[in-house]
Amino acid sequence: MSATLIHPTETGLTVKNCIDGEWVGSDRTFQSLNPANRDHVVATVPQTSKEQVEAAVAAARRAFSSWRELSWVKRAEYIDNLSQLIKRDLEQLSRLVTIECGKPINEGRADVVEALHMAQYMAGHGRLPYGQVISSEIAAKDAYIIRKPKGVVGIITPWNFPFAIPLWGILPAVLGGNTVVFKPSEETPVMGHKLAELFEEAGFPAGVINTVHGNGEETGAAMTGSEGVDVIVFTGSRAVGSLIKRTAVAGETHKFVATELGGKNAVMVLEDADLDIAVNAGVLSAFKTSGQRCVSSNRIIVDKKVIDAYTERFVEKVKRIKVGDGLEEDTFMGPLISQEGVAKWHHHNRMAVEEGGEVLVEGHEVTDGPLARGNFVTPFVYRFRDYKENTFCLREEAFSPHTCIIGCDGMEDAVRIYNDTDYGLAMAVITEDYRKWRWVRDHADYGLGYVNLPSIGAEVHLPFGGVKASGNGHPAAETALDYLTHRVAFTVNHAREIVMAQGLTTL
Ligand code: NAD
């Protein structure tokens, strides 16, 4: 394990809200700390009040009428400007992602590259059809389906992809003619602020994208409770997502909430698997981003015929993982985001032991040396040779480097175990048999499925989201336009008389 810490020069940055094109602070502030070194204050950030949120919503409402007037192509041009700015600043932005959320620098870069891809994809989308022409029952009528904007969209995002995830929602929203109030995670406000600066530089008119900072209880709740917000796009934990689902929609029939939540994902290793691929896929799925991806796998379900060989090779590889400062290029696992994240990791490890797991790699919190002031922990690996039902450790999301090797008896048993959680986000199956992966494809519950790959590795031109408790079926990225616009029916009569469908008579 590395014992060095690079001291970043980015310190004491000031973050502001951007409301109606004005950069404004707030009476109250909080600090964004570097998770690799809690003594390093990256930025001071406004804690936005309910009144300021309402001002942002009102600004978005005022900007809506002129923004929706623009053509899709024109709106896409602003997004194209943004993509060029992201490309220009790629290295600086990547470094900031690593400093503020701890991900190793290759992952910081991947976050910014994914944001760039989303901007490029949405810019191109502006020149695609935004409706359909459909035959009417009456020859002289033309019927159309046209996408129209819904109004003001509130976007609430998590910390773990602080640059890419906001754009999964914001860009389809503004391309479709909506205006936006965006609340970044309070853990990563600097990246939210950087996005806001780039929106301004890209030329988006005042009020089209407003950014407000703050915690969930006050700022987030003010957004979801605002009558002026038509759609909420929420990405985060199951607990907060279900709270928002209950409170934001209550009593308001027009309001729509899209939720992208957590997962209890798995890699399934079948008896015929290529073990090199299986071990690699397991390690990447469990420990990339220190297990803090919604698609991270806390479960590696392995056929009992190969479980011993698999375990030996997996554990050997895990022991070689380098934990350290994300700014060092060869670091594999950076710190957890916060002390709460460390406490959650301890809790899941304790539960695994209490519930009967056989500990194979006893992770520890780094409490001395140069990394001691960061939120560093090392991987925790345990095993259940026989699956145990109704456990906490095998069913609840750990969102940390905590994973279990679980024995199974064949493919159908693997899928039975995989499906035995409330979640349904991501799964990978490792097999050389095309009949087996096809069966798994059709019987497992997931939104993102992979064969001979890890359970991580999404691309923006595919839908991103889950089923069951992982989301309400409105995936982000590619498919977000579907729920960020209304598809309206529009029919035009070209005859000099009125002829009705279904044989209705006229006077
Ligand atoms: P979180 O739920 O704690 O916070 C997410 C956002 O919700 C933050 O901006 C927070 O301020 C806000 N929030 C908190 N309470 C709120 C409230 N009462 N009202 C309104 N907003 C509120 O999640 P997190 O710790 O930032 O992220 C980790 C979680 O996100 C994990 O469960 C992970 O699986 C999930 N996640 C899901 C996806 C996906 O696309 N499915 C992607 C990334 C992360």
What are the tens digits of pLDDT across the range 62-85?
999 999 999 999 999 999 999 999
Q: Band the pLDDT of 3: cuts 50, 70, 90.
A: low
C-alpha span between 42 and 186 (Å, rounded): 12
pLDDT score for 79: 98
pLDDT score for 250: 65
Cβ proximity of 176 and 131 under 8 Å = no
- Region 490-494: mean pLDDT is 97
Does 12 have pLDDT greater than 90?
no
Catalytic residue among 100, 114, 186, 260: 260
Q: What DSSP element (H or E) covers 59?
A: helix 50-69
Does 4 have pLDDT greater than 80?
no
How many angstroms separate the alpha carbon of residue 472 from the centre of ligand 1?
A: 15
101 is catalytic: no
CB-based burial, 330-365: b 16+ in 10 Å, e otherwise: ebbbbbbbbeebbebbbbbbebbeeeebeebbebee
Ligand 1, residues at Cβ distance < 6 Å = 156-160, 165, 183, 185-186, 215-217, 220-221, 224, 235-237, 240, 243-244, 260-263, 294, 397, 399, 464, 466, 471, 476
- Region 328-339: mean pLDDT is 97
Mean per-residue pLDDT of the chain: 96
How many angstroms separate the alpha carbon of residue 259 from the centre of ligand 1?
A: 10
Q: For the sheet containing 402-408, what is the strand order?
A: 358-361, 380-384, 402-408, 297-303, 265-269, 426-430, 448-451
C-alpha span between 447 and 470 (Å, rounded): 9
Q: What is the pLDDT of residues 194-248, one digit of tens each?
A: 999 999 999 999 999 999 999 999 999 999 999 999 999 999 999 999 999 988 8
Hey, where are the domains in the chain?
13-261+471-489, 265-451
pLDDT score for 254: 80
The residues, any chain, with a CB within 8 Å of residue 280's CB and separated by 6 or more, are 317, 454
Q: What is the pLDDT of residues 120-162, one digit of tens each?
A: 999 999 999 999 999 999 999 999 999 999 999 999 999 999 9
Amino acid at 297: S
The CATH superfamily holding the domain 13-261+471-489 is Aldehyde Dehydrogenase; Chain A, domain 1 (3.40.605.10)
* Strand, helix or coil for residue 64: helix
Q: Which residue's CA is the nearest one to ligand 1's atom 14? A: 216
**Chain-centroid distance, C-alpha 38:** 25
How much of the chain, in percent, has pLDDT values that exceed 70?
Answer: 99
Q: Which residue's CA is the nearest one to ligand 1's atom 8? A: 185
Cα separations (Å) of 246 from 103, 221, 252, 259, 475?
33, 12, 11, 12, 19
Q: What angle do CA 190, 192, 198 make, to 5 degrees?
A: 105
Q: Band the pLDDT of 253: cuts 50, 70, 90.
A: confident
pLDDT score for 77: 98
Does 473 have pLDDT greater than 90?
no
Does 501 have pLDDT greater than 60?
yes
Under DSSP, the state recorded for 409 is S
Q: Band the pLDDT of 1: cuts 50, 70, 90.
A: low
Q: What is the pLDDT of residues 80-105, one digit of tens each?
A: 999 999 999 999 999 999 999 999 99
408 is catalytic: no
- Region 298-302: mean pLDDT is 98
Q: Which residue has the higher pLDDT, 477 or 118?
A: 118
Cα separations (Å) of 428 from 269, 465, 494?
9, 15, 54
* Domain 265-451: CATH architecture, name and number where available: 3-Layer(aba) Sandwich (3.40)
pLDDT score for 11: 84
Q: Is the pTM of this model over 0.75?
A: yes
